[in-house]
């Protein structure tokens, strides 16, 4: 289910931060699905929706409430420079 996937991903993100000794508030999670964005937000990370990735039919990336939306991987450079 979506809720279970969200919890599983959030726990993975929290573990990654713990293992790397990096605060979730200093981390960014990039995803190409609503579950990715929800998981990143649940883990207190900034989120980036990759609008060029796998987007389920009928989904609108702007509805996912990500902090940023990118249409190409190199657009991450601008986000990193500004934040």
Could you report the per-residue pLDDT of 5-29, keeping only the tens digit for each?
778 888 999 999 999 999 999 999 9
Pairwise CA distance, residues 54 & 64, whole Å: 14
Rounded to the nearest angstrom, the gap between the alpha carbon of residue 73 and the centroid of all alpha carbons in its chain is 13
Quick check: pTM over 0.85?
yes
Which helix (H) or strand (E) segment is 78 a member of?
A: helix 76-82
Q: Is the pLDDT of residue 1 over 90?
A: no
SS3 breakdown of the chain: % helix, strand, coil, rounded to 5?
Answer: 55, 15, 30
To the nearest whole percent, how much of the chain has pLDDT over 90? 75
Task: Provide the pLDDT for residue 9.
Answer: 87
Average of pLDDT values for 19-44?
A: 94
Q: What are phi and psi of 59, to 5 degrees?
A: -80, 145
What distance in Å separates the CA atoms of residue 50 and residue 32, rounded to the nearest whole number?
Answer: 5
């Amino acid at each position: 289910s979506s809720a279970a996937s969200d919890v599983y991903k959030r726990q993975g993100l929290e573990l990654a931060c713990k293992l790397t000794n990096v605060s979730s508030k200093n981390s960014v999670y990039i995803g190409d699905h609503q579950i990715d964005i929800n998981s990143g937000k649940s883990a207190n990370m900034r989120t980036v929706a990759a609008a060029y990735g796998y987007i389920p039919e009928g989904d609108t990336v702007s509805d996912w409430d990500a902090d940023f939306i990118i249409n190409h991987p190199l657009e991450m450079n601008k986000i990193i420079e500004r934040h």
